[in-house]
Amino acid sequence: MVSTKTIHYSKSMLHGELSVPGDKSISHRAVMIGSIAEGTTSIAGFLDGDDCLRTIDIFKRLGVSIERNGTEVTVISPGMRQWQEPSADLYAGNSGTTARLMLGILAGSNIKSVLTGDESLSKRPMDRVTLPLLKMGAEIKGEQESNLLPLSITGKSLTAIDYAMPIASAQVKSAILFAGLNAEGTTSVSEKTVSRDHTERMLEQFGATIGKEDNTVFVKGGSQLHGTTVQVPGDISSAAFFMAATAMIKGSSVTFKGVGLNPTRTGILDILQSMGARVEIKDETKGIGEPSGTVTITYGTLQGMEIKGEVIPRLIDELPIIALLATQASGKTVIKDAGELRVKETDRIEAVTNELIKIGADVQATADGMIIHGPTVLTGGQMASYGDHRIGMMAAIASLVSLQPITIEDPACISISYPQFFEDLEILAVNK
């Protein structure tokens, strides 16, 4: 039987300060690159959500020493050439980031392994990663021409390639760059529009020979990486749910402290401002590694708009909450060029459309996005999460503007990226 949680905050506005959990993408990469590197890596602000813990488990199976104390993680690695061959399958759970990036890492290792996932992940396509890796000489075998988990990987020496990505994807780019670390020559990856660049930033921080020219990233094979210190900023994709809620509830104003401000991730701030909310950024830190700062969002009268093109990779994970936001904006909002949503934890275009329609929204799915008319009164009712943390959080935020309570199916999935989500929701919701 599926567990449920019923919540209702429709008479609430949001006020206060919030420090959101560590960035999921950066937490994954810190453990991965710390394990590839030789020596000790100290990670602060680590996200101890389900997906990132799967990444830790995998590297422990490879013989890397990893100690975790809450959000502090210490990785002590002999370097990837000294990894142990695992005695059991490497289980990625429901983490697409873990699975796809590990393919690139394992392909250039000197060990044999089998990568598996849960039922949901085992249905998600892997050929966008395996095809370029096979061009580099990787030995990867599995169902449907190496498109689905489980996949068997025999690590070997690889050959550098120049790869032009058909669609912007940080996961594909990262997998190829990781493989390029152990390839002969210089590997390049070019994108039509820039996707998140956490891997490039962090590889440089660990000592890789890496460069960028326009929309092309280069990595030289054979670089020796060394352990370092990584500060993980707050996850803007998690903050986005409360940012959007603040923007659409009259009288609300919330300050988000220590949130990541990587330009490849701040599309949500651009959209909130363009739709009519007030966005203020203070105390921004820059330099090697990841920029972060303090962001204050204040309610504003929202207008619908068209969201497409180069901004899409900068807010791909925020589109479910942007769709909810659009139901409370005046006029039509059109989201396009977001076909990537169909191969996330679930088909997020169909999931978002179906669940918002259930509670009274005027939403239409398209091949690569959605059309939303607003403002509409959201009635409330039961909403499925599909086991997808971002759909679950969207449903919870809907309870702030719905007439009746919202009952969320399988709310536990939210812990994948935001373990204390409901506690923070309770803290911010203040009765008028």
Report whether 348 belongs to an annotated binding site: yes
Report whether 82 belongs to an annotated binding site: no
Report whether 25 belongs to an annotated binding site: yes
Question: What backbone phi and psi angles, to 5 degrees, belong to 163?
Answer: -120, 125
**DSSP 3-state of 166:** coil
Report whether 51 belongs to an annotated binding site: no
Question: 237 is written with which tokens?
Answer: 């994709």
Report whether 96 belongs to an annotated binding site: yes
Could you give the residue ranges of the DSSP H alpha helices within 62-196? 96-107, 127-135, 143-146, 170-181
Q: How far apart are CA 375 and CA 164, in angstroms?
A: 41
Report whether 124 belongs to an annotated binding site: yes
Sheet holding 72-78, edge to edge: 65-69, 72-78, 38-44, 229-231
Report whether 27 belongs to an annotated binding site: no
Question: What backbone phi and psi angles, to 5 degrees, belong to 45?
Answer: 85, 20
Residue 323: name the closest of 244, 422, 386, 270 by CA. Answer: 244
Q: How far apart are CA 355 and CA 423, in angstroms?
A: 23
Q: Which residues pair with 364 in a beta bridge?
A: 371
Q: Is residue 282 packed enough to be buried (19+ CB in 10 Å), middle (13-18) or exposed (0-12)?
A: exposed
As a 3-state breakdown, the chain gives helix, strand, coil percent values, each rounded to 5, of 35, 30, 35
Question: What backbone phi and psi angles, to 5 degrees, belong to 428?
Answer: -80, -30
State yes or no: is 317 an active-site residue: yes
Report whether 265 belongs to an annotated binding site: no
Report whether 223 belongs to an annotated binding site: no
Residue 341 is classified by DSSP as: G
In 237-277, beta strands by DSSP E: 253-260
Q: How many angstroms separate the Cα of 166 from the Cα of each of 128, 173, 336?
A: 9, 11, 17
In 37-192, beta strands by DSSP E: 38-44, 65-69, 72-78, 90-91, 112-116, 139-142, 148-154, 158-159, 162-164, 183-184, 186-190
Report whether 68 belongs to an annotated binding site: no
Question: 212 is written with which tokens?
Answer: 């960028």
Task: Choose the catalytic residue: 48, 50, 51, 317.
Answer: 317
Residue 92: name the closest of 39, 153, 155 by CA. Answer: 153
Report whether 11 belongs to an annotated binding site: no
Which residues line the annotated binding site for phosphoenolpyruvate? 24, 96, 124, 171, 348, 390
Which residues line the annotated binding site? 24-25, 29, 96, 124, 169, 171, 317, 344, 348, 390
Which residues line the annotated binding site for 3-phosphoshikimate? 24-25, 29, 169, 171, 317, 344
> What positions carry a catalytic annotation?
317
